[in-house]
Amino acid sequence: MYQDLSYMKIPLPEDIQKLKFYGDFAGAQKMIDHFMTKDIPEVLRKRLEIETDVLKVIGGDQYPYTYEEALKIMQKYLRDFKDEELQHLKEISAADWIYVDGKVHFHRRFHENLIKTRPDLAERVMVADFDDAQANDEKQKLLNDNVRYMKENGGRTVRTQIRATIKAAKDFEEVGRKVRVHLPIPKICEQVTSVDILASSPEIKYIAPEDAPQRTVYFETELEEDQEFMVEYAYDYHVDYLELDPEKAAACEQPTFCTEEQAPHIMFTPYLQEVLKEVVGDETNPVIKARKIYDYVTSKIMYSYMREYFTIECIPEYAAINLKGDCGVQALLFITLCRMAGVPARWQSGLYATPYYTGCHDWAQFYVAPYGWVFADLSFGGSAYRMGNEERRAYYFGNLDIFRMPANSEIQMEFQPEKKWLRIDPIDNQRGEIEYEDHGLSFSQVEVTETLISMEDIK
């Protein structure tokens, strides 16, 4: 059943919150059960129903490593890594952790995150699990070459072909049972003009409309042993190069759509209102306001892998308080602050697809007359800022590259047809979903691949 996540804006009872922070998830659930026997307001009941699922997710496999296990992992990957270094990384909020039954546990990707975001640690890597310097140089060249091409040619069009798969992990494969599967596909939007489904396995039962806010193909069948659900598609993708002129924007009347709150995440909280005052001040020009917000996010919010979004009560406020977040967290902070400043802004997400990597990615759009909807990629802009590449940082304010598959234009939207059980990601959809008639599978219970087959320029 689809959940109305807007009820997450309702605070939890204090004792439930205390048990949750301590990591006594069973105790927190027991107290929720107690509250549910009382005559409580309906809004609180709905909040507690959501929290039951939140506890299952955050108390599952999100934070598997004890302090001792985390230290061993870092010593395995990094040369001469010391106990006091991990303690320091924990103390400065660089290594993501929570309490589980009163003991520190680290996030499942904490070590990858530290090596990705801290050059001093990356230099000490002594195993081959991570990209070498040459591969990273090639990735950076790909982005820089795209910036140069866009500036020289004014735009770019490509035909992209991708193959996506999802299957139940072996231990969660229930052969012979009815299974329902969703896989994301491109939607028609500013960048995408046509989408062709080239192949699938098994036969697709339903294809969501071209403009669906979270577009998928849907499979329904009796599960076979080792069965993989696959869709292969191609789409035409075009982006123009823009340099936003504040003077042109000042001469135009600006719209007010997409400037409202959307609980529980796009919320104009008191803290964010104070942040906005510091960032934007008395500025009235929409281009300059959006650029000030972009510069704030790209320079102040450190990129960090995240736990599942479903476990965070207000994502933009989390980012602005903790000064960290991944691509989607940064995008939601930008969107929220833009809306608070009267600049229309909205979500886009799907895949980032290159010969070196294809995987989940989120970014933002904002609207400025006379230009219309334009783009902001906060994590790519932040990465360029940390590298000292100001040209590329400026490019991702107003522009996007060609290495995208946009599947979603909204957060917190239902599938078509609706999913019955709790989604892997109730906020967004980039990996796909699997459910049986009596329960759904979590991310750790499925195996997902996204493969770029080809990308060719169209003149």
The conformational region for residue 110 under phi > 0 = left, psi -120 to 50 = alpha, else beta, is alpha
* Strand 324-325 to 302-303 pairing: parallel
Condensed to tens digits (0 to 9), the pLDDT of residues 334-350 reads 999 999 999 999 999 99
Measure CA 6 to chain center. Answer: 18
Pairwise CA distance, residues 17 & 58, whole Å? 13
CA-based Rg of the chain, rounded to a whole angstrom?
22
Condensed to tens digits (0 to 9), the pLDDT of residues 262-292 reads 999 999 999 999 999 999 999 999 999 999 9
Residue with tokens 């995240």: 306
Q: Which of 99, 112, 73 is nearest to 306 (CA)?
A: 112
How many CA atoms lie within 13 Å of 396's alpha carbon, on the beta-carbon side? 28
- Domain definitions of the chain by residue range: 5-58, 65-122, 154-239+429-457, 242-398
State the first-to-last Cα distance of the chain, in angstroms, to the nearest integer: 46
Return the CATH fold of 242-398: C8orf32 fold (3.10.620)
b/e map 325-344, b = 16+ CB within 10 Å: bbbbbbbbbbbbbbbbbebb
b/e map 37-60, b = 16+ CB within 10 Å: eeeeeeebebbbebbebbbebbbb
Around Cβ 278, how many Cβ atoms within 10 Å? 9
pLDDT in tens, the chain (459 residues): 457 899 999 999 999 999 999 999 999 999 999 999 999 999 999 999 999 999 999 988 899 999 999 999 999 999 999 999 999 999 999 999 999 999 999 999 999 999 988 989 989 998 655 445 566 788 899 999 999 999 999 999 999 999 999 999 999 999 999 999 999 999 999 999 999 999 999 999 999 999 999 999 999 999 999 999 999 999 999 999 999 999 999 999 999 999 999 999 999 999 999 999 999 999 999 999 999 999 999 999 999 999 999 999 999 999 999 999 999 999 999 999 999 999 999 999 999 999 999 999 999 999 999 999 999 999 999 999 999 999 999 999 999 999 999 999 999 999 999 999 989 899 999 999 999 999 999 988 999 999 999 999 998
Return the CATH fold of 154-239+429-457: Immunoglobulin-like (2.60.40)
- Where does 283-442 show beta strands of DSSP type E? 302-303, 324-325, 345-353, 358-368, 372-376, 397-398, 404-408, 433-436
SS3 for 444? helix
SS3 for 224? coil
> In terms of residues, how long is the chain?
459
Q: Which residues contact 33 (CB under 8 A, 6 or more apart)?
A: none
* Strand 65-66 to 302-303 pairing: unpaired
Say if CB 310 and CB 372 are below 8 A apart. no
Pairwise CA distance, residues 83 & 417, whole Å? 51
Structure tokens at 60: 């599952």
Q: Which residues contact 98 (CB under 8 A, 6 or more apart)?
A: 23, 58, 63, 104, 105
Question: 3-state SS of 75-127?
Answer: HHHECCCCHHHHHHHHHCCCCCEEEECCEEEECCCHHHHHHHHCHHHHCCECC
Q: Which of 60, 61, 118, 59 is nearest to 86 (CA)?
A: 118
* Residue 53 vs residues 21, 28, 426: alpha-carbon distances, Å: 16, 12, 11
Pairwise CA distance, residues 376 & 345, whole Å? 10
Residue with tokens 């789409």: 235
